[in-house]
Amino acid sequence: MPVSFPFENIYATLPSQCFEPVQPTPVSEPELIKFNESLADRLNIETTDVTESELATIFSGNAVPDNAIPLAMAYSGHQFGNLNPQLGDGRAILLGDLYDKNSQLRDVQLKGAGRTPFSRGGDGRSPLGPALREYILCEAMYSLGVPTTRALALVRSGETVIRQQRESGAVFTRVAASHIRVGTFQYFALRGDHDALRALADHVINRHYPEVKNTSEESGKKYLNLFKKITENQAKLIAKWMNLGFIHGVMNTDNMTVSGETIDYGPCAFIDSFNRKKVFSSIDQQGRYAYINQPAIGQWNLTRLAEAMLPLFMMDTESAHSSSDEVEAAAQKQTAQKQTAQKQTAQKQTAEKQAIEDATQVLNDYAHIHQRAWETGMAAKLGFSEVQEGDRQRFEALTDLLDETRVDFTLFFRRLNTCAASDGDLSQVLDLLNAPEARSSAPLLQQLKEWIQDWQGALAQRESLSSAQQRMNQSNPAIIPRNHQVQRAITAAESGDYEVFEKLLSAVTQPYEDNPEHQEFEQPPVPAEQVLRTFCGT
């Protein structure tokens, strides 16, 4: 085998009901479009002297590494609020997991590699467009500093898939800290399989949150502490991507990982003209996953996770009483059988009540964690080293103005750096009000000027100008993967031209740099270029 993967296959050691063994279905004419050599090196994947043809063979699924254990993961999920108890990897196959150079376990998964036992009548394939979109978005988000899945390879299959029309097929190789989702826990909770649920939770602790084992020895609430960690990471993740104007588009419970990574870049996009209620997904007719709704949806999903983990929380509470119960039971062995049964019932009810109260408190904390994370991100975007009293009102007043004026979100914050000084030139920022999608009026213009003047004064009092500007440059990207640019890359690639894709990828992986070669990728779309809806690849 020309490509060597040091697979550990730890997920494959979990109970058999966690997955289904499956082999990729070969494609006819695999052609390598992109291989992420630096990521492969970090994953300890050996590719010395390998050819593009050999890479295409491996990453299309036409040849399976000798030490891989391919499998499709089982999970359920709430899709747009509606529970589907039987989902699972319908077009994705986990080749295996391996340790990277930082001794962190990572999954390597093929998307579009053919049918699995969870395909539910689907073809198990992926069109080229969504696969290329995911490659760009994965690497852009990573470069922006957002926890995310990564792109390892993209292969054109040489075959056609049928969606709304006939499209070129592709296989995308995704790398993740893991592909364990809220829906994975739901799958076993719905089936009352508490043994598998516990094995899964222990795997997540060992894999993602080993520190939970130490704190749990003191509190006796291992699984509740795990839930706290997942909740904290998810609250911070959503705040991070919202500070960048990102809309996930399909925040179903099967699209929320417990590792705290962004996953499944289907109908997602970055906002151009700011609009709190903006929706990109073609299937989100009610705006459930609009930009402004994302924090609440995150909490809703975590509530479903809490419901699924309730038996584990009860185990925490019951185990805390187990030692004292054993002593008491021994002392009353002859007469306490009936009392013990009654006591066990009462203890179970008490444990359930306590577990619900504990989980509810964690869910209540979510909103505060998210708000603090969002405010911290906004402070950095505006040059402040910390959040102080009055800043929340300042941040909210600005987002109100951005929503009213519909100015370009990314350009506004990037250009704000030019007027950080009290005598700074406002022209570049105010020019954004003349853009085709912007709303301009004398009152709005005056309000924006007043807000900027107030911000300039606060910045001058609290920060050195150079430090503030450096902080802003590191927090406000010049380049994001704008929807119209991604669509240009997809259109060109479908005709066999990958140059646009390569140029865009180069630009979005250097988002905070002012590079003259990448200026075209900084520009928002003109009306004719706007892409108002994005689509899922399934």
Give the burial string for 125-142 (b: 16+ CB within 10 Å, else e).
bbbbbbbbbbbbbbbbbb
| Nearest residue to 154 via CA among 134, 140, 177 | 134
CB 196 within 8 A of CB 17: yes
Check if 254 is active-site: yes
- Looking at residue 438, its amino acid is A
- Looking at residue 322, its amino acid is S
Cα-based angle 466, 511, 437 (whole degrees, multiple of 5):
95
SS3 of 307, please? helix
Gap between the Cα atoms of 458 and 446, Å rounded = 19
Residue 171 belongs to what H/E stretch?
A: strand 166-176
Measure CA of the first residue to CA of the last residue in the chain; give whole Å: 31
Residue whose token pair is 């630009």: 507
What residues does 108 pair with on adjacent strands? 96, 175
Residue whose token pair is 């997602």: 268
- Looking at residue 94, its amino acid is L
Strands 166-176 and 246-247: unpaired
Gap between the Cα atoms of 462 and 381, Å rounded = 15
Active-site residue (options: 97, 123, 254, 391): 254
The string of DSSP codes covering 62-125 is: SS--TT---EEE---EEETTEEES----SSEEEEEEEE-TTS-EEEEEEES----TT-TT----
CB 521 within 8 A of CB 482: yes
Known catalytic residues are 254
